[in-house]
Amino acid sequence: AGSTNAASFEFRSIGIISTPFKQKFGIPRQSQSISKATGLIIFSSDINPVNACRGLDDFSHLWISFIFHENLQGGWKDTVRPPRLGGNEKVGVFASRSTFRPNPIGLSVVKNLGLNSKNELVVAGVDLLDKTPIIDIKPYIRYADSISDASCGFAEFAPDTILQVDYSDLARVKLNKLLHKHPDFEVLLQNILEQDPRPAYKSVTEDEKTYSVLLYSYDIKWQVREAINYVIDIEAKY
Please report whether residue 129 would count as binding ligand SAM according to CB under 6 A.
Answer: yes
Please report whether residue 108 would count as binding ligand SAM according to CB under 6 A.
Answer: yes
Provide CB contacts within 8 A for 51, sequence distance 6+: none
Of 87-95, 102-110, 157-165, 184-192, the segment contacting ligand SAM by CB under 6 A is 102-110
- The dihedral of CA 19, 25, 31, 32: what is its sign? negative
Please report whether residue 38 would count as binding ligand SAM according to CB under 6 A.
Answer: no
Which residue, 31, 27, 52, is CA-closest to 195?
A: 27
Please report whether residue 211 would count as binding ligand SAM according to CB under 6 A.
Answer: no
Which lies closer to ligand SAM via its Cβ, residue 66 or residue 167? 66
Alpha-carbon distance values, 162 to 91, 103, 130 (Å): 24, 33, 26
Interatomic CA distance for residues 131 and 13, integer angstroms: 11
Interatomic CA distance for residues 76 and 72, integer angstroms: 9
Please report whether residue 31 would count as binding ligand SAM according to CB under 6 A.
Answer: yes
Interatomic CA distance for residues 223 and 231, integer angstroms: 7
- The residue from 13, 18, 99, 168 that contacts ligand SAM (CB under 6 A) is 99
Count residues binding ligand SAM (CB under 6 A). Answer: 19
Please report whether residue 24 would count as binding ligand SAM according to CB under 6 A.
Answer: yes
Of 20-28, 144-152, 199-207, 217-225, the segment contacting ligand SAM by CB under 6 A is 20-28
Chain positions contacting ligand SAM, by CB under 6 A:
24, 27-31, 68-71, 97, 99, 106-108, 127-129, 132
